[in-house]
Amino acid sequence: MSDIEDMLSVTEPKVDTERALARLRARVEGERIAPVMRGGAAPHRIGVNIWVRGLAAAATVALVATLLTVSGVAETILTIFEPKQLVAVPITVTDLNGAASFGAYGTLTWTEQPKPYDVPDIRTAARDSGMTVLVPGNLPTGVGTARYGVMNKTTATFTFSADKTQKAAAAQQRTPPPMPANIDGSKLFITGGPAVVAYYDDGTSPAGATGASGASPFAGMPKLIVAQGKPPVVQSDGVTVEQLQSYLLAQPGISPQLAAQIRAIKDPSSTLPVPIPVDMATSKKVTVQGVEGIFVGDSTGLGSAVIWQKDGIVYGVAGTLTEQQVLAVANSLH
Amino acid sequence: MEVADRLRLTTSPGPGMPPSFEALFRKEYARVVAIAHRVVADADEAEDVAQDVFVSFYRKHPADAHYAAPWLYAAAAHNALNVLRSRERRGKRDAVEAIRRDTQTPDPAQAAETAETRSEVRAALARLPDRSAALLVLRYSGLSYEEIAAALGLRQSSIGTLLRRAEDAFRREVTT
């Protein structure tokens, strides 16, 4: 054995490939990571952009699930949760990897499934959603016309299961703290939406084109998205916020930093956390439409988003645009 | 793509993992972990690195890409070296403790000594230029010159020379 071989020697690690594959599957499903297919059309690439995805779904139950997954669950689970303000919660790749997906703690049953559908015009979008749909007063150059989609009001019940939690943890070689008896079997009732999303494609290319740059994470993204919706409301059948927070923040994979950020939310019953993947994006507070909002900039400099809540509606504007352009669109909504 | 389809993408789980990717994972996972482990000397951390490497590949490359294996090996070495460097930045105590967990010997004194030595060696590795460190890691993980050349984008004929230089540099770092 050479001296260097000797110096770099380690005990051969024992790996359980199937267990590791199960862990990877859970992560891919939890983060909804889409694979790249040969040919690069990759219509599912939209799922790569966590913040855009979160924003587009801001007023839907999907966002609740995302938030619960990535931010340690506790802050949004309340006897009655009705957000009135937003707060950015920085998350890291380690947090994303570490936090078990919400499905690991129990079973989600839809009572009214989210069924997004296209509508021919803004008038139909407003009628179906029951909301006044705001439109931008001016659009940046290169942005085409809008097409509208509506997400119906959705409701779901989540039932905690100690047994399921145990099995999910075992599959990831983890030992979670035991689920308190009063949480096991308890239910959360989640309501989200309705929501309206307007997509503005690049005015120069056909709608839905993936663009020339197959390698860009923004391939396939519309030039501009304007979304608005009723924020999610969560009710519990008895278990308290404190009990859930204490249990869930003690889970393996929840970093002390993330737990501290969640505990620091002053009024969790009325605060909607917006997860910001710190390795992909930066965020800051901005004033939009006279209220405080969160600006999110993609770290590649290719995209921007802003999200805010006003008069009981969550709004989001995102696109492959600059900060100035996105804020101008947001402030021009009327 | 219609608006409803886009919305559906935001609310439904992603498509299932392609069988070709699972096959790639099963074939290469152990080797990717072994490369990362050679660097970080901590089995848990090595598995974390391997998970990140496969996720990165999954996001960006088709599973049947001809360069899949060398890409994974190179990414394992580079990612593990990044972990090592950030561990070094946190201080010697953290570095020794990470390796200590991985040192399997019944004698605590011996375990501490082994961990200390391994930690010093890895600190030296972390100080090397990235390409030199990656060369050493891949070679001493058992890769052939051909595999190393493919992984690091080098000419196979230059691997021998570059490797010798990297070894000399490594020895100097260890003794300083």
What whole-number distance in Å separates Cα of residue B112 and Cα of residue A170?
30
**Exposure of A210 in the CB half-sphere (CA atoms within 13 A):** 13
Whether residue A132 is predicted with pLDDT greater than 90 in this model: the reply is yes
Helix (H) or strand (E) holding A310: strand A304-310
Q: What's the rounded Cα separation, in Å, for the pair A228 and A334?
A: 12
pLDDT tens-digit series, residues A48-78: 233 333 333 333 333 333 334 333 343 344 4
Mutation pick from A8, A49, A96, A224 vs chain B, by most beta carbons of B within 10 Å, is A8
Which amino acid is located at B133 in the chain?
A
CB B25 within 8 A of CB A24: yes
Distance, first Cα to last Cα, chain B = 61
Q: Which amino acid is at B39?
A: V
- pLDDT tens profile A152-191: 888 888 888 888 888 877 776 777 788 888 888 888 887 8
What's the whole-number average pLDDT of chain A? 72
Task: Check: CB of residue A235 under 8 Å from CB of residue A217.
Answer: no
Residue A209 has a pLDDT of 33
Show me where the domains of chain B are located: 17-175
Q: What pLDDT does B167 receive?
A: 94
Per-residue pLDDT reduced to its tens digit, B16-44: 688 889 999 999 999 999 999 999 988 99
Q: How confident is the model at residue A97 (pLDDT cuts 50, 70, 90)?
A: low
A12 vs B contacts (CB less than 8 Å): 34, 37
Amino acid at B101: R
The pLDDT assigned to A36 comes to 67
All structural domains of chain A with their residue ranges: 3-84+93-224+231-262
Per-residue pLDDT, averaged over A236-242, amounts to 72
Q: Round to whole Å and give the CA distance between A249 and A242.
A: 10
Contact predicate A160/A216, CB 8 Å? no
pLDDT in tens, B91-144: 666 666 666 666 666 677 777 777 777 788 888 999 999 889 999 999 999 999
Q: In chain B, which residues have their Cβ closer than 8 Å to the Cβ of A97? A: 48, 51-52
Q: Could you tell me which residues come within 8 angstroms of residue A18 by beta carbon, excluding any fewer than 6 positions away?
A: none
pTM score over 0.80: no
Considering only CB atoms, which chain A residues are within 8 Å of B118? 10
Q: Which residues of B touch A53 (CB under 8 A)?
A: 9-10
Distance CA A248, CA A271 (A): 18
Radius of gyration of chain B (CA): 19
Six token digits for residue A120:
């021919």
Q: Which amino acid is located at B134 in the chain?
A: A
- Between residues A97 and A91, the one the model is more confident about: A91
Place A92 in a pLDDT band, splitting at 50, 70 and 90. low
Q: A22 to chain B, minimum CA–CA distance in Å?
A: 10
Q: Are B42 and B102 in contact (CB under 8 A)?
A: yes
Strand A271-277 with A85-91, pairing: parallel
Backbone angle region of A297, left / alpha / beta, with phi > 0 → left and psi within -120 to 50 → alpha: beta
Residues in chain A: 334
The shortest CB-CB distance from B17 to any of A11, A25, A93 is to: A25
Give the C-alpha separation, A101 to B61, whole Å. Answer: 25
